Amino acid sequence: MPILPRKVVQDLQPYPAPKEGRYGLVRLDFNENTVGFPDAYTASMPDSTVCTYPEYGGLITKVSKQFEVSPESILLTNGSDEALTLVALTFVDPGDVAVISRPCFVVMPHTLKLAGATLREVAVRSDFSFDLEGIGSALPGVKVAMFASPENPTGAVLPPEVIKSWCEAFPGTLFVIDEAYSDYAGISVLSMIAELPNLLVIKTFSKAWGMAGLRLGVVFGQAPLLDYISRVKMPYSVNSAAIASASSLLDRADAVVAAAKQTMQRKVRIESLLQSRGYTLVTGSANSFLLNLGEAAEKFEAFARKNGVLVRNRTEALTLGYVRVSVGTDEEMKKFMEVLIEFESLNPLQNNS
């Protein structure tokens, strides 16, 4: 008899994204900060922190100051992927109902299913914004409602006042808002955790903070919720290199905020350039946009990769033809435009104006 995993695992697929062979290429496929903050990384790490189990107090104090919340409302995790998984494993019993928007960040349905949740999925509207009325009507009887704001891949934002009204109207539902891209969007519901005992906000150091390879996330929420999550979390899932880098980055948080702002300024420039060439875009509020290439999406993804530029065809998550492009440096965006223009010249009918 073969050894089989749990029934729910038999039906799951591994995270589908192409993650290998990306070094040295123009990486506009995973919404990372493409240059980061090299000076702040592990150079700041004292020797003793490698042979000693990590300590978190110092970083928690800095995170608390940066995000203006009490240290008791902070839990550090190994990226926000771990945060989302812990939340699902802590609060969902098999058969509990969870609400998500579709499409959404793929880890959300994955972890909720793993925890045994029955998913109630509310499709986005035709302009890829959240269907607020649809979500509102799906909420009765729900244990967990999980959304990213801005969402991935749409870049759509949930209005803070709507999140607040849902939390108040459904006190028995845990609302989880993943703010991986809020540093770019400049919008956050973090300050609401003080008054809402059923709200968790998750942030990551993988995007604006440039630490995707070191893995650091944060769950913010009231202490009783975090106490439950701590029972599930392994004690040292965040390593000392991540602690040291984040600590040094938080000392120069102004530079991180300024870099995120510059990325968004570059985003506006590249979007207008594309629109002036007749392309249809979904701009959203994250550090990426969706470019509609119609039937040529898959072909373009492959063509760009061959020419050293990585983008992601999101057709399978959305509707036919949307390619997600992260915003990199000026030089990287120039390279992206050159590749697109060359593609256009070889495929003149594919410019989806």
Ligand X SMILES: Cc1ncc(COP(=O)(O)O)c(C=O)c1O
Under the rule (CB under 6 A), what is the footprint of ligand X? 30-31, 79-81, 105, 148, 152, 178, 180, 204, 206, 212, 217
Taking the CB of residue 241, how many other CB atoms lie within 10 A of it? Answer: 20
Task: Give the pair of three-digit tokens for residue 227.
Answer: 């106490």
Number of other residues whose CB lies within 10 A of the CB of residue 231: 8
Instruction: Residue 113: name the closest of 134, 159, 144 by CA.
Output: 144
Q: Which is nearer to ligand X, 296 or 314 (CB)?
A: 314
Q: Please, are residues 82 and 234 in contact by the beta-carbon 8 Å criterion?
A: no
Phi, psi dihedral angles at 98 (to 5 degrees): -125, 140
| Chain centre distance of CA 205 | 10
Comparing CB distances to ligand X, the nearer of 30 and 336 is: 30
The residue among 180 and 327 lying less far from ligand X, judged by its C-beta, is: 180
- Nearer of residues 113 and 344 to ligand X, judged by Cβ: 113
Taking the complex as a whole, how short is the minimal distance between the CB of residue 302 and ligand X, in angstroms? Answer: 22
Supply the minimum distance, in Å, between the C-beta of residue 189 and ligand X.
14
What are 178's strand-pairing partners?
148, 202
The CB-of-222 to ligand X minimum distance in angstroms stands at 21
**Which of residues 314 and 335 has its CB atom nearest to ligand X in the complex?**
314
State the minimum distance, in angstroms, from the CB of residue 244 to ligand X: 17
> Minimal CA–CA distance to 149: which of 140, 141, 158?
158
Task: In angstroms, give the least distance from the CB of 106 to ligand X.
Answer: 9
Encode 118-150: b = buried (16+ Cβ within 10 Å), e = exposed.
eebebebeeebbbbbebbeebbeebbbbbbbbb
Nearest-approach distance from CB 290 to ligand X, in angstroms: 13
Supply the DSSP string of 249-287, one letter for each residue. HHTTHHHHHHHHHHHHHHHHHHHHHHHHTT-EEE--SSS
Comparing CB distances to ligand X, the nearer of 60 and 296 is 60
Gap between the Cα atoms of 310 and 99, Å rounded: 32
Task: Please provide residue 149's backbone torsions phi and psi, each rounded to the nearest 5 degrees.
Answer: -140, 105
Q: Which is nearer to ligand X, 77 or 296 (CB)?
A: 77
Query: With respect to ligand X, which residue has the nearer C-beta, 214 or 296?
Result: 214
Beta-strand ranges (E) seen in 96-239 are 97-102, 118-123, 144-148, 174-178, 199-204, 217-220
In the complex, minimum distance from the CB of residue 125 to ligand X, in angstroms, rounded to a whole number: 19
- What's the closest the beta carbon of residue 158 comes to ligand X, in angstroms? 12
